[in-house]
Structure 1
Amino acid sequence: MNDRQDSTCDSLEPGDDQRLLSALVDGELSAPERAVVEAQLAADPEAARRVAHYRAQKTALQALFPKPAAVPSLFLQRRTPWWRLGVSALACLLAGVALGLGLGTLSLGVDKPAFAQRADMAYAVYAPEFSHPVEVGADEQAQLVSWLSRRLNRPLAVPSLQEYGYTLIGGRLLPGEAGPAAQFMYQNKMGDRVTLYVTVFAKHELTFGTVQGDGRRTIYWASRGMGYALSGRGNEASLRMIAVDTCNALGGHADSWSG
């Protein structure tokens, strides 16, 4: 057993374990190591917050340096702590501006698709629901994904948002513009909710943007014949970071949003 595997047996405290959290964000852990670290994150909110912070910085750097080879490695592989690197702060600032432009005003000349409006309304209707926010709970996740995949006639996946403090509570089937749509709902410990709306989207041109209304925001994008929309309330920058991470996790290319 190597040193990294040994360290996963300890609590996630600052020091060598920060290297593990960085390796998790960069996808450098083996499957067993990743499983151990993710299990510890679920029981360690402070470590989970650090991972979310690392992911946010990585996303910011990717926005500035779209080509993977051009992204400088600033994640705890150097002896100098990343938060002391002035270029890191500058990267976050500039990337925030870039993402703001990309998601707020730039949409490559494409009007907001109907599925984005439907996703926004579905969030407004179901997110406040206390008794029946979902049709199928997260305790039946495999059945939920299988059912919705059959109805949409597409293989669906449910991305994890644990790094951002959100846990899947379930999902439901919804009517889409030209067929069925799926909504997955997540909730954090404070009771805040975000939803991921998924539907078939025939247009294949690059589409992304934001729908806003009544204190809520829906960030939408299209990828590989599918339309996606992440809806929530609160901090817009945080929601955008979650949307970028979700897009990448589902096989999209969120770096193009700022390009």
Structure 2
Amino acid sequence: MTHPDRPDQAHDPRDPRDPRDPPDVQSLSAYVDDELGDAERAVTADRIARDPASAATVAAYHAQDNALRALFAAEAEPQVVVMRPRARERYLMAACWLVVGVACGYLLHMLVPALGNNRPPFAERADIAYAVYAPEQRHAVEVAAAQQDHLVNWLSKRLNRTLTIPSLAEYGFQLVGGRLLPGEEGPAAQFMYQNAAGERLTLYTTTVTRAQGKIRMLRDGPRTTYYWAGNGAGYALSGQIGEEKLQAIAYDTCKELGGDPKSW
């Protein structure tokens, strides 16, 4: 239908919008700020006339501009005026800052652990495995020490490397047995030891592609883990027997497994 008081406005066939549609906020802002060409201004004016809500918005914009001019009209000297963004612009700015904040937070979440912690994943897995299985009484291991040959052959086959179970008898710890665990880069093995006082240690080993230098320590509450890597394998000795004693056992275990901790 056509407006009874004015002829229809020419409509560009390339414009997908219907000339009778209400104008959007951007068009209203450009109309008030006199930023439209003659033809587009005429089309927008016609749309405003057809839509009471748009007409009210334009009136509010004009009232805001007039109030600002009246506020400073009586000043004798030029004033520096800090213009606050209009409501529609403030919403847009807030949305932009929200997107930027979310993006920065995501990047920090990804980068901070990488920058602040170069601990290999197998060390944390070893610490967690100790916390889970060391307290167990009936199911601490899958294969008991009485079947040590079977245990070594089975885990060596699963890890695709010849495994050796170090002796910790010098420190009063005897082998309880072992189990198969999932690792970061494939299967992992956990061997458990226990002394006469019921204290337990676990030796965790798995395949690693990135060698770790010196023997390092991970502490989580009462638990301590010393870990190292070499020749494509990662090792971690975990326990709650005191850091100095556990460190001494870790160095001897490292040497028994073919490493040379002193050179590290």
The two structures, once aligned, show a CA RMSD in angstroms of: 1.4
Distance 1:130 1:222, change over 3 A: same
Match of 1:127 in 2: 134
1:105-120 to 2 correspondences below 5 Å: 111-120=118-127
In the TM superposition, residue 208 of structure 1 has moved relative to its aligned partner by 3.0
Aligned to 1:235: 242
Deviation per CA, 1:149-192: give whole Å up to 9, x if none: 00000000000000000000100000000210000000000000
Q: Tell me the secondary structure at the aligned position of residue 140 of structure 2.
A: coil
What's the CA shift for 1:111?
Answer: 1.1
Distance in 2, Cα, partners of 1:212 & 1:192: 17
Q: Does residue 259 of structure 2 align to residue 252 of structure 1?
A: yes
- 2: distance between equivalents of 1:207 and 1:180? 24
* Deviation for aligned residue 1:205: 5.0
Given candidates 132, 157, 162, the residue that maps to 2:169 is 162
Q: What is the distance in 2 between the residues matched to 1:137 and 1:222?
A: 26
1:202 to 183, 199, 209: 209
Shift of 1:214: 1.8
Structure 1 length-normalised TM:
0.56
- Give per-residue Cα distances to partners, 1:99-126, cap 9 Å, x unaligned: xxxxxxxxxx981100000000000000
Secondary structure, in 3 states, of the residue corresponding to 2:258? Answer: coil
Partner of 1:152: 159
Work out the CA distance in 2 between the residues paired with 1:186 and 1:122. Answer: 14
Aligned-pair distance for 1:253? Answer: 0.8
Aligned partners of 2:122 and 2:206 also within 8 Å: yes
- Map 1:1-259 onto structure 2 (within 5 A): 111-257=118-264
How far 1:207 moved relative to its partner? 4.8
**Runs of 4+ more than 3 Å apart:** none
Structure 1 pair 244/230, CA: closer, same or farther in 2 (3 Å)? same
- Could you tell me which runs of 5 or more consecutive residues in structure 2 were left unpaired when the two chains were aligned: 1-115
Bigger Rg, structure 1 or 2: 2
CA deviation after TM superposition for structure 1 residue 234, in Å: 2.3
Q: Distance in 2 between matches of 1:122 and 1:205?
A: 20
Separation in 2 of the partners of 1:206 and 1:234?
24
- Higher RCO (C-alpha 8 Å, min separation 6): 1
| Matching residue's letter, 2:220 | G
Query: Residues of 1 paired with 2:213 and 2:260: CA distance?
Result: 10
Which 5+ residue runs of structure 1 have no aligned equivalent?
1-108
TM-score by length of 2: 0.55
Compute the displacement of 1:256 (Å). Answer: 2.6
Say how many residue pairs are matched. 149
Q: 1:166, 1:240 → 2: CA distance?
A: 15
Q: 1:200 and 1:208 mapped to 2: Cα distance?
A: 17
SS of residue matched to 1:157 = coil
Matched residue of 1:181: which SS?
strand
| Change in CA separation of 1:215 and 1:205 when aligned onto 2, cut-off 3 Å | closer
